Structure 1
Amino acid sequence: MSSQLRCHICGVSFNIGRVRRPDEPPAAAWDGFSTGYVLSYPAQFPGGGCPKSAQCMSVFRIPFASAEDLNGKHGFQEDMDDIEDDGDYVPDCPENDEPFELYKIPQISSANGSVSDGLQRGEPEVSSNLRRSSNEAYRRFLHLLEHPAEDFKMRPHHLDLSLATDLNSANEPLDTVPYFQTEHIAGGSDCRINCLGLEGGGYNGHNISFEDMRWCKTAQFLVRKPDQWCAAPDDDEFERSGHYFLSGLSDSVPHCDFKSEVFPRRHDVSSPNGQNVIGTLEDGQDYAMPFHPACLEVFKRASLYRYGQIDIEGLADWWFLEATQQSFYDFPRHSAVQKGKHWHHTDGDEFLAANPCFITQLPNVLAAAERLGNEIVDTSTSSKSEYTRLRCTDVFSVLPPELRSLILIHLTSPDVANLRLASRTFYQIPQYIFRSLTLREMPWLWEAWSTLDYSFWASTTGDVLEAKIKQHRQRLEKLQAAVEVLIQEGNHGNYQRNINEAAISTVQSLIESMEEEGASIKESVPAPFLLANKTNWYRLRCELARNSTSILGLRNRRRIWKDCEEILDRIERYRAEGKIMAG
């Protein structure tokens, strides 16, 4: 069985799913592969499913149709043609829909708990059911296009399947609904859909937000330059000067046996062969390094913090040297990063899928640490009268402030805390001491020291980028077509000048604005930056410590930063051994 492709920087699979909450739209759920949602296995499935206390729900979903399905390669196009030819057809309301023709749900043997789908491969009933259900599926699909606010009714996951008959107007028993056509809805944090130990599943939407997870399925690739390579206007500096370039983005990464389709096509590459493990070094030119765009942003800043420059060349060379089964799975990663062929969504490990750059809760923490006025010391725990009373007995009190600061600047946070307990003299500490501690001990909080913008690749997904570019292109083409029409219409008659000249000028101005807008689609995104003299560094550290586990994106950033430090250590070692050229 093929392995799942993983980000070579952070070690996490691209095939991550999410189970939505009842108050979220269908777009907030996805699985790791192609169904578009996490399956709702029946409550009597071996393993027990979710407990009743979880209050999970199930909802019937239209079977996922791939692009090939929509193009008629699996028998759907005939049904679409039938619908288009039927001029009298009016989409039905969901409550009046005719029943789907469905498979039976897996039969569970009471003797040994084994599961059978009840259908033998090649039985005529399979293709017959597909043909009968496809027409109605598309009728429902077209209806939802006209009424996007509607959704299929959610029902408790723990219905008595032998008594439940309210699925549709025909009172078809719920136990005829195949689990692979029902979506699981997480009722709360007690949802245990992932405890079944099956491939697939997803992280509970009650434990991680849709906004935090939006990036987790997006992959990008570092591709080796061919001999005949020409720079493009949107290339980064490292692409122009180095041996590797960036591919487009992919939001649907298949198993390792298949190539990923990316958008946009860059340097004539639309399907890079991303691999964590390559056969031989001689074959290395045919492969590409897979990574999350956000993880590359973490590596850039880890490299910048250590060397003062970004070493993408070293990163790619490290991947090439360690793209072996043993090296990849022996890399010392966080204990939550599983080493098996397939990713299992373990409850409590949701932070692994959180965006390390665009963190939803972080702006509030940074705003809370904003310092007003000219405050230069932390006085939150100082007591002036007590300080004066103990001055005569405190040996540090005789030291001038400059010497006390020199002592503090070389201490760690625990040492500073102990010193404040031991000596009242150190109750008041300059803010720059806490800033120095932050820079030394929390380099992953790059908002404190880096002004580097985020690459636009890390700010979007392949689908969103494609939709933006397509929409922009269509609007531009309409304006250009309008200019052609105005020119042709204005040239009729015996006029010395085009009578539509003013309108043409207006539309051409719109075209110029649209072209500028198109260029801005790929602009970098400014990252937050904390001004040294406008930040209460003591309060910032307190807020971060208080929320160290709840801010999932920051927790994931710390984990990835540690991996990047290990990667940089290995790059240094390989360069010292002469296995990697100096950057």
Structure 2
Amino acid sequence: MTIPKPVTAKFTTAGFHRDCLFRFANAAKTVLQWIHCHFCGVSFNICRSRAPGEPDWAKWDYTGSHPDPELEFDDLDLDECSRNGCGVGVRYPKEEDNEAQDADYIPREDEEDHEPYEYDSDYESADDAMNVGEDDGWNDGDGEEDIESQWYRDWLLSSAVPQDLVPGEPAWTPPLHRDRPNEVVFPLTSGQLPEGYGPEQLEHIAGPTCTGSNAYSGHAISMEAMRGCRTAQFLVHKQASEADWQPDGLDEDWELSGDWFLSGLCDGTTSRDIDYQTVYPPRGGLDQLEADNMNFEPEYTDSDSIGMPFHPWCFDIFCRQSKVLFNHVNISGLMTWRNAEFSYEDFHGFPRTRDVLDGREQWWRHNHGHEYLAANPLYVPNLERLLFAAVNLEDGDFTPDTGAFDLSRRIWPTETPSQARPADPLASLPLELRLLIVGFLGSRDIANLRLASRAFEQLPVSLWYRLVRDEMPWLWEAWDETECIHVPSIWTSVTGTDVQMFFTRRQRYASALSDMCKEINVEDAVDSLLPMPMTAPRQLRLPREQTNWYQVYTQIKRHWGQLKGLQNRQRIWRDVEGIMTLIQKYTCSID
């Protein structure tokens, strides 16, 4: 792979009109500092607070750095924190700091009564398909960890905070989150900080019901579930590349033949009034570029000179829908729409869910209960296991006509002869007509029909395949392989921090090898020493004839609150559907 020489994009006019941002702001409009994903409308500058037991680097602020401890407490209402079960972690505990032995410690009345959250260590799902335990097959090995492995993990969890070196979302997520040894957390029972400590020694630990809006709580969403929430990528016109754009071995097919290409990645974005976006690797020769959700001065600035920002996962959802609708990744149509509706009013007028609008303030507002907005919609923890549980590869008796219900637990009450039910007029219908009837009904109507008529007491599992496809069009795991041939981009499997650390290391290796060994091919040597770790993730496809679609449908519905990534996928899917309609509008008008 070629290691490109980075250059900074030099735009004709866009770079010289940054001051127009302030002239543009007036009493009627508030221009936010930060850009957002152009597909889903959510900020890239997402924050997280850690839960007890998680490592220090499981929390980060808007810049991706470890929060300043003194500023952290300035914005807190300690009385509110005490009501929400928040605690105070001690960064440098003293020997006598032991909550369990503290004579002054009074446990909260509701401490043992609150419902466990999805990622609490004692959380147990209501269904085996979602159980996550140390000895149920989720972890490799025999469930008993040797002492050296324990020491190694303890060392990893107690190492220096990665944000001190490379600010941003952590490049590594531990497989077990609740395993931090010797942590001291005091409950905020009186709205007062522990005596004998300064703010720089303490850390706010969000409680299960914390309503703080400066970060999403580790109680409500895991690091694994929100991996990639800060990663930004950009569509850039090839005219912006002074290096005369060339393929680099990481290209998508449409990049080779089209006018636009994907930039490198960055963790979070810089403020509009500060600097360009710095990306890794410098694809197209660009390590810095300008990107925005609006063109502030279209009379002076060519819209093609401004990159389009998005989450790689949102772009992946666009690619899937584009292939289904247009049979190709319609980048030209996407940018035609973007350039046609590229004003302040257009971006803020695009219809989005209320949760997104409630979060869109000068600094992203992390509202309690809206954590799903930061969840990865492509790689959803526990989803694959839930879906695989519905596949019957070894059951030779299973067919799509297999009944969905266990009739040994009948829904009909025992009747005496005097209470005999009236004749069921639907009972005489042949099976073909009964299936035709339910084929026009939704899930709620089918449930009511089963209660009303014994003729519909048993239904085949294949019926729920239609319901999955109709009600969950975003569940591409249920698609037939011929519907959409799609392999996720390698950029969906890494974060901005991952890529920055990897390519910085490659450049350091290349520089050292160039100085030491003049005769070798540096690129080949670096590829051998530090091969690309990014690979296209494996795609799960449910076999239509061997899947219990009733189980798929009901398990997703039952565990919807835990599947935050699927919630976000549904939201983004609907936004992209609206964009597809607008692409058709503008491309048809051009034709």
- The amino acid that maps onto 1:434 is W
Question: Which amino acid in 2 is paired with 1:274?
Answer: A
Tell me the distance in 2 between the aligned counterparts of 1:538 and 1:312. 37
Give the one of 533, 546, 562 matched to 1:550: 562
| Paired residues of 2:312 and 2:491 also in contact (CA < 8 A) | yes
Deviations 1:253-277 (A, max 9, x none): 1112221111000001111211011
Give the Cα–Cα distance (whole angstroms) in 1 for the partners of residues 421 and 498 of structure 2.
64
Q: How far, CA to CA, are the matches of 1:337 and 1:226 in structure 2?
A: 33
Whole-Å Cα distance in 2 between the matches of residues 146 and 305 of structure 1? 44
Aligned equivalent of 1:239: 255
Query: In 1, Cα distance between the equivalents of 2:332 and 2:72?
Result: 50
Correspondence 1:12 to 2:39: no
CA distance in 2, matches of 1:312, 1:48: 50
1:406 alignment partner, one of 408, 416, 436 = 436
Q: CA deviation at 1:280?
A: 3.5
Give 1:267's aligned residue: 284
With normalisation by structure 1, the TM-score equals 0.69
C-alpha deviation, 1:284, in angstroms? 1.1
Per-residue deviation at 1:526? 1.7
Deviation at 1:252, TM superposition (A): 3.2
Matched, 1:217 2:230: yes
Q: TM-score scaled to structure 2, two decimals?
A: 0.68
Equivalent residues of 1:378, 1:538 under 8 A apart: no
Match in the other structure for 1:204: 217
Indicate the structure whose relative CO is greater, using CA pairs within 8 Å and at least 6 residues apart. 2
**CA distance in structure 2 between the partners assigned to 1:386 and 1:253 by the alignment:** 56
C-alpha deviation, 1:40, in angstroms: 6.2
Pairing of 1:173-572 with structure 2 (within 5 A): 174=198, 177=199, 183-186=203-206, 188-194=207-213, 201-226=214-239, 228-257=244-273, 258-281=275-298, 282-338=301-357, 339-371=360-392, 372-376=395-399, 377-382=402-407, 393-449=423-479, 452-469=486-503, 515=527, 521-572=533-584
Is the 2:336–2:586 contact (alpha carbons within 8 Å) kept by the matching residues of 1? no
CA-to-aligned-CA distance 1:43-89 (integer Å, 9 cap, x gap): 6867446432414214459xxxxxxxxxxxxxxxxxxxxxxxxxxxx
What whole-Å deviation, never above 9, does each CA across 1:515-561 have from its counterpart, x for those lacking one?
Answer: 47966534311221111122110011111111122211111111111
| C-alpha RMSD of the superposition | 4.1
In 2, Cα distance between the equivalents of 1:423 and 1:310?
A: 48
- Paired with 1:409 and 1:146, the residues of 2 have a C-alpha distance of 56
Structure 1 residues 272 and 158, CA gap change in structure 2 (3 angstroms): farther
Work out the CA distance in 1 between the residues paired with 2:471 and 2:192. Answer: 56
Distance 1:246 1:395, change over 3 A: same
Q: Structure 2: how far apart are the matches of 1:518 and 1:29?
A: 29
SS of the residue aligned with 2:204? strand
CA 1:40/1:334 → structure 2, altered by over 3 Å: closer, same or farther? farther
SS at match of 2:556: helix
How many residue pairs match? The answer is 459
Q: Report the alpha carbon displacement of residue 570 of structure 1 after superposing the two structures with TM.
A: 1.2
CA distance in structure 1 between the aligned counterparts of 2:421 and 2:508, rounded to whole angstroms: 75
Unaligned runs of 5+ in 1: 62-92, 96-142, 168-173, 195-200, 488-507
Q: Which residue of 2 aligns with 1:80?
A: none
Give 2:351's aligned amino acid.
Answer: P
In the alignment, the residues of structure 1 paired with residue 487 and residue 565 of structure 2 have an alpha-carbon distance, to the nearest angstrom, of 18
Q: Bigger CA drift: 202-211 or 27-36?
A: 27-36
Q: Secondary structure at the match of 1:290?
A: strand
- Equivalent position SS for 2:236: strand
- Do the aligned partners of 2:47 and 2:64 also contact (CA within 8 Å) in 1? no
- How many angstroms does 1:477 deviate by? 9.2
Identity %: 33
Partner of 1:573: 585
What is the alpha-carbon distance in structure 1 between the residues aligned to residue 220 and residue 347 of structure 2? 29
Alpha-carbon distance, 1:145 to partner: 5.3
**Residue-by-residue CA offset, 1:263-296 (whole Å, 9 max, x unaligned):** 0000011112110111244431321000000111
Letter in 2 for 1:569: T
Deviation per CA, 1:72-130: give whole Å up to 9, x if none.
Answer: xxxxxxxxxxxxxxxxxxxxx999xxxxxxxxxxxxxxxxxxxxxxxxxxxxxxxxxxx
Local SS of the residue matching 2:266: coil
User: Separation in 1 of the partners of 2:578 and 2:75?
Assistant: 43
Offset at residue 193 of structure 1 (A) = 3.4
Describe the SS at the equivalent of 1:264: coil
Kindly indicate whether residue 88 of structure 2 is the aligned counterpart of residue 57 of structure 1.
yes
SS at match of 1:336: helix
Instruction: Give the conservation status (yes or no) of the 8 Å contact 2:404–2:460.
Output: no
Query: Does the C-alpha gap of structure 1 residues 397 and 30 become closer, same or farther in structure 2, counting only changes over 3 Å?
Result: same
Q: Return the letter of the residue paired with 2:228.
A: W
The amino acid across from 2:348 in the alignment is: Y
Q: Determine the C-alpha separation between the residues in 1 that align with 2:406 and 2:70.
A: 53
CA spacing shift, 1:517–1:413, aligned 2, 3 Å? farther
* Kept after mapping to 1: 8 A contact 2:233/2:266: yes
In the alignment, the residues of structure 2 paired with residue 399 and residue 445 of structure 1 have an alpha-carbon distance, to the nearest angstrom, of 34
Structure 2 unmatched ranges of 5 or more: 1-30, 96-157, 165-179
On the 8 A contact 1:43/1:158 being kept in 2, the answer is no
* CA shift in 2, pair 1:429/1:160, >3 Å: closer
Q: Could you say which residue in structure 1 is the equivalent of 2:9? A: none
Q: Relative to 1, partners in 2 of residues 1:289 and 1:385: Cα closer, same or farther, differing over 3 Å?
A: closer
User: Against the structure 1 CA distance between its residues 193 and 434, is the aligned structure 2 distance closer, same or farther, given a 3 Å change threshold?
Assistant: closer
